[in-house]
Amino acid sequence: MLLTIDIGNTAVTIGVFREGGAADGSGNGANPVERLVTTLRVATDSRRLADEYGILLKNLLEFRGITTTDITAACICSVVPPLTGMFEDLCRRFFGVTPLQVTSQIDLGMPIRYDNPRDVGADRIVDAVAAVELYGAPMIVVDLGTATVFDAVSRDREYLGGAIAPGINLSADALYYNTSQLRRVELVAPTEAVGRNTTMALQSGIVLGYAGLVTAMVDRFKSEIGADAKVVGTGGLVTVISDHAPIFDDINQELTLVGLDIIFRKNSAGLPGSGAPEGMSRVGG
């Protein structure tokens, strides 16, 4: 089984993929969504040690019926540098595998047209690869997490770049922490855009405001890469605005994990045990 780890600013998301799409494990090239066995989420905490994360991950996987010996390979993308090496060490010591780390220097199956490809967040690349593989191109990916991130892929399946805005929670927190009379509110849309009280006014500005931001940015992207571009939403906060921004062709919360699986397979002959290259096999053989 392949262990995929997406280290984000707010959460670490883990996925486990079996080798084949069928119950008997056959069909190594089957749809990665069909091979996703389980997903887990734990809080990102740079103060936590590798042993702590290791024990936590081991116990959570065993609760789902997956043992450390079931894991035969690993693939990581990270936007939190202090945790990158920690999770690489964790994979070696707890699962006996050396993980593949996603960077712009490995085979992505997609040209990166950013001015400096090294500057693109690994999660953005992974999302783009997965979205094009699953839905085609041209493609716009909208990831609503700690930041609100837009990524564009051309008709020729080239990663072009995108846009980054503060995330919904970041913007809301800025209001709460920097004003005396505004309080936290539930992130749901009010019945009307014109708020008749402070709670509704905040909900209108935050939820409907972000729905408008996302809609306007997608329209701008389409004017540049093609009106027929598909739009895929992902990230923990996408459901907050999806009903009020009718621009999504699909919502896929497993997009990054699926992209890690796809990229791992592009960089190996298969999962360990079926000819994986050196550096991605089980430690000690």
Q: Which residues are known to be catalytic?
A: 123
**What ranges make up the beta strands (E) of 80-146?**
100-101, 139-144
How many whole angstroms separate alpha carbon 195 and alpha carbon 193?
6
In this structure, are residues 132 and 157 in contact, taking their beta carbons and an 8 Å threshold?
Answer: yes
What would the DSSP string read from start to end of 153-167?
A: E-TTS-EEEEEEEE-
How many whole angstroms separate alpha carbon 69 and alpha carbon 132?
32
- For the chain, the C-alpha Rg in angstroms (whole number) is 20
Residue 96's closest CA among 155, 64, 54? 54
- In sign, the C-alpha dihedral spanning 222, 224, 228, 232 is negative
Residues in CB range of 226: below 8 A, 6 or more apart: 138, 155
First to last CA, the chain: 16
Residues in CB range of 51: below 8 A, 6 or more apart: none
Query: Can you read off the two tokens belonging to residue 75?
Result: 């693939």
